[in-house]
DNA sequence: ACTCATAGACTGAATAGTCATTCAGTTTTT
DNA sequence: AAAAACTGAATGACTATTCAGTCTATGAGT
């Protein structure tokens, strides 16, 4: 694991567990087993770390969601694949999921960061357009559809975490069906 | 406006515009036109203010959503009323909406605060149960339905804000229909 | 109606502490 | 041996919180 990764991991864990205000840079350095100076070698400042974490998670997520992409011509099947994998990713990476949920709306995340993160998901636009062409979807904007489904999944998992409900395959299927019914014409 | 309200308003505005780390208590006091000591008379500390803002918004939201409640026996019509008013509330109160979006997932919000906020929305449970009895809904947990619809609306508005899209009545109807289709059996 | 004593509300400068950031020096790599 | 990576104590700012003192509202006594 590179020092950069060590720092990002340490910061992620501390920030989620204790909150941003209560995680000084020194704690991040300690947990990453790295000197303070090293942190500042790789990152401009604290906010830079937050933004880097955000992008790295979104990149990892995209990588997983779009693996083996582009072979299935069926719009519904593709939908289930994409979002099924997204659910899996977030269920397997609770810390990262919490981070995204918390900072997606925060002013700490710069516009450029948000754009960079979003750009990973351009496949969604293709998928959406295809669905529109086949007259499968309601008449809404692509971004809105993406947001809608992501948010549904996000809060779903959040609720499950809080209520200590286990999301099994059956439940996952219901969730995916709900999302599909929502956008389906 | 009471001092408490002045302080909450000032804090809300500063925190959303500048971020929590960048809003010292002194700035909150200044903006509220109040001495530092007064802030600490009404609130234990900074986190206490955040929690108080959270609850106050949720109370205001609930009040609006459930106004004239309980007269309509039609489950779908009730659904549209509730969530239609919720959309209106958030469209009319961007600052408050942003605050809730940002802190709903934050560890700063205490469990007791979250519970207190949630308890305002018990009408949703009744509504949900009624829908289940009439065999209108998919077989999911009440909390999940509530979360699902709220989140859909939240991110929808967030997306609209970011993409500078105006949400008019037609678009609002589509959003409500999506949410309904999602939970409908 | 008018003191004025008292409680409570209010103030903001001072305190006490925290923490982001730097940099002179050390270690490792090339 | 030169460059690059690394270290962490020291610096310099900043800010949450306190508290000694001031102001204001209340109402009992005249």
Tell me, yes or no, if A78 comes closer than 8 A to chain B by beta carbon. no
In a shared domain, residues B60 and B5: no
In a shared domain, residues B2 and B68: no
Considering only the beta carbons, identify the residue of B21, B150, B165 that sits closest to A20. B21
Q: Which residue is listed with tokens 């560890």?
A: B107
Among A20, A25, A178, A57, CA closest to B105: A20
In a shared domain, residues A79 and A150: yes
| pLDDT greater than 90 at residue A160 | no
Query: What is the full per-residue pLDDT of chain B (185 aa) written as tens digits?
Result: 899 999 999 999 999 988 898 899 999 999 999 999 999 999 999 999 999 999 999 999 999 999 877 677 899 999 999 999 998 998 899 899 889 888 887 888 999 999 999 899 888 888 888 898 999 999 887 777 777 777 777 777 777 777 787 888 888 898 899 889 998 98
* Cβ pair B147:A139 closer than 8 A: no
* Cβ pair A147:B158 closer than 8 A: yes
Among B109, B114, B115, B182, CA closest to B149: B182
In a shared domain, residues B37 and B58: no
The mean per-residue pLDDT over the stretch A105-111 comes to 87
In a shared domain, residues A13 and A59: no
A69 inside domain? yes
Nearest nucleotide (C1') to the CA of residue B21? D15
B92 inside domain? yes
A74 inside domain? yes
Q: What is the CATH number of the domain that holds B112?
A: 1.10.357.10
The model's pLDDT over A49-86, given as tens digits with 9 standing for 90+, comes to: 999 999 999 999 999 999 977 677 899 999 999 999 99
A159 inside domain? yes
Q: What is the CATH number of the domain that holds A39?
A: 1.10.10.60
Contact B10, B28 (CB under 8 A): yes
Contact A4, A87 (CB under 8 A): no
| Residue B8, domain extent | 1-43
Count how many domains chain A has: 2
A95 inside domain? yes
Among A75, A82, A182, CA closest to A134: A75
pLDDT for B70: 67
Q: Which residue is listed with tokens 């059956």?
A: A170
Among B123, B134, B135, CA closest to B78: B123
């Amino acid at each position: 694991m590179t020092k950069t990764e060590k720092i990002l991991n340490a910061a992620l864990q501390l920030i989620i567990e204790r909150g941003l205000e209560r995680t000084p840079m020194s704690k991040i350095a300690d947990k990453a087993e790295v000197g303070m100076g090293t942190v500042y070698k790789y990152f401009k400042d604290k906010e830079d770390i937050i933004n880097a974490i955000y992008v790295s998670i979104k990149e990892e997520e995209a990588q997983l969601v779009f693996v083996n992409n582009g072979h299935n011509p069926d719009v519904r099947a593709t939908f289930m694949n994409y979002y099924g994998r997204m659910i899996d990713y977030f269920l397997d990476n609770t810390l990262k999921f919490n981070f995204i949920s918390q900072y997606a709306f925060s002013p700490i995340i710069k516009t450029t960061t948000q754009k960079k993160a979003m750009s990973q998901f351009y496949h969604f636009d293709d998928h959406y357009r295809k669905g529109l062409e086949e007259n499968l979807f309601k008449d809404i904007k692509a971004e809105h559809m993406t947001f809608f489904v992501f948010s549904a999944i996000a809060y779903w998992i959040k609720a499950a975490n809080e209520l200590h409900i286990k999301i099994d395959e059956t439940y996952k299927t219901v969730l995916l069906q709900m999302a599909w019914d929502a956008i389906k014409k």
